């Protein structure tokens, strides 16, 4: 039998080895315990008064209620938010694309997407003659897109002459041009169109109608500081259950109704 001091030394050595090798995934059986933070501070660039901001806030409030962790969500411009993450001044970001991890080695990703963003063609008026993207070429319609939405830029510039494609600085500007009759159709990110259609700038105007989907949908993910890595499996499991129970879809639909956008998506037909 080993003397008590030897057993204590052996236990300390095993604990030290687990800690040293866990980062290399050489000892998957080492115990890892999630340390629950007093308050989880997350960042988003979408204000609560927009469709996307309200939907994300409701989603995370329900997620963290189930996790039993207090939550605070800060609204910060995108560039500033990235700096806050890099400096470890906030605990995570609520929705970023897959490639975001390449520029943020200090973060870990929850592999279950928090939401998916799609692209579509939108108009103030129903256009039953327009059901596929290639029909734009002979339609004579002018199309705008928000600068930086690369998927729309790629699709439109390969299909239409330059005089029929207009890039604008914001989605609000793009939708305002539709309202004024300056352009006929907008190509944009669904969640951005829905958010800005419900903004104060466009209050009281007819909401845009989604004609059909274009391009490839892009999943967005929840990113956390690496110090919270032990919480990731629990977050992922809870998020999957919320999806399976229909909670996320219920939140989405209730937010659409709140912003009087529920009828907007009815004509949508997936088309690539």
Q: Specify the 3-state DSSP secondary structure of 119.
A: strand
At 162, list the tokens: 């330059």
Same fold, 40-115+220-258 and 118-217: yes
Question: How far is it, in rounded angstroms, from Cα 186 to Cα 165?
Answer: 10
pLDDT at 60: 98
Mind listing the pLDDT tens digit for each residue in 27-72?
A: 333 444 456 668 999 999 888 888 899 999 999 999 999 999 999 9
| Residue of higher predicted confidence among 204 and 161 | 161
User: Regarding the domain delimited by 40-115+220-258, which CATH topology (the fold level of the hierarchy) does it fall under?
Assistant: D-Maltodextrin-Binding Protein; domain 2 (3.40.190)
pLDDT at 36: 65
pTM equals 0.74
- CATH classification for the domain delimited by 118-217, as one of 3.10.20.30, 3.30.2020.30, 3.40.190.10, 3.40.50.11540: 3.40.190.10
pLDDT at 30: 42
**Residue 4 vs residues 12, 16, 17: alpha-carbon distances, Å:** 12, 19, 20
Do β-strands 165-168 and 143-146 pair in parallel, antiparallel, or remain unpaired?
parallel
Mind listing the pLDDT tens digit for each residue in 118-155?
A: 999 999 999 999 999 999 999 999 999 998 898 999 99
Is the pLDDT reported for residue 10 higher than 50? no
Do β-strands 92-97 and 40-44 pair in parallel, antiparallel, or remain unpaired?
parallel
Mean pLDDT of all residues in the chain? Answer: 85
Question: How far is it, in rounded angstroms, from Cα 84 to Cα 80?
Answer: 6
Note whether 71 and 61 are within 8 A (CB). Answer: yes
Give CA 4 to chain center in angstroms. 55
Could you tell me which residues come within 8 angstroms of residue 152 by beta carbon, excluding any fewer than 6 positions away? 119, 145, 146, 187, 188, 214, 215
At 105, list the tokens: 């080695």
Q: Measured between alpha carbons, how far apart are the two ends of the chain, in Å?
A: 72
Domain boundaries, the chain: 40-115+220-258, 118-217
Confidence label for 87 from pLDDT (cuts 50, 70 and 90):
very high
Instruction: Return the half-sphere exposure (C-beta side, CA atoms, 13 A cut-off) of residue 264.
Output: 28
Local structure of residue 48 (DSSP, 8 states): T
At 35, list the tokens: 């340390």
pLDDT at 262: 66
Could you tell me which residues come within 8 angstroms of residue 249 by beta carbon, excluding any fewer than 6 positions away? 243
**Residue 58 vs residues 39, 51, 62, 139: alpha-carbon distances, Å:** 17, 11, 6, 41
């Amino acid at each position: 039998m080993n003397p008590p001091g030897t057993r204590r030394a052996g236990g300390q050595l095993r604990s030290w080895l687990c800690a040293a090798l866990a980062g290399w995934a050489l000892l998957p059986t080492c115990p890892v315990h999630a340390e629950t933070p007093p308050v989880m501070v997350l960042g988003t660039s979408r204000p609560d008064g927009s469709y996307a901001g309200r939907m994300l806030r409701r989603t995370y409030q329900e997620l963290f209620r189930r996790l039993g962790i207090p939550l605070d969500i800060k609204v910060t411009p995108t560039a500033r938010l990235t700096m806050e993450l890099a400096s470890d001044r906030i605990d995570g970001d609520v929705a970023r694309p897959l490639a975001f991890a390449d520029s943020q080695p200090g973060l870990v990703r929850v592999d279950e997407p928090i939401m998916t963003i799609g692209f579509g063609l939108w108009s103030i008026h129903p256009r039953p003659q327009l059901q596929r993207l290639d029909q734009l070429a002979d339609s004579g319609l002018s199309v705008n897109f928000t600068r930086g939405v690369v998927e729309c830029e790629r699709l439109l510039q390969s299909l239409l002459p330059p005089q029929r494609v207009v890039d604008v600085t914001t989605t609000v500007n793009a939708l305002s041009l539709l309202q004024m009759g300056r352009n006929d159709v907008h190509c944009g990110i669904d969640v951005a169109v829905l958010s800005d259609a419900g903004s104060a700038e466009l209050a009281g105007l007819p909401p845009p109608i989604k004609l059909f989907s274009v391009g490839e949908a892009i999943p967005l993910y929840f990113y956390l500081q690496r110090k919270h890595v032990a919480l990731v499996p629990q977050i992922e499991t809870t998020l999957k259950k919320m999806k399976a129970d229909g909670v996320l879809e219920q939140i989405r639909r209730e937010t659409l109704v709140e912003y009087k956008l529920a009828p907007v998506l009815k004509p949508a037909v997936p088309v690539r």
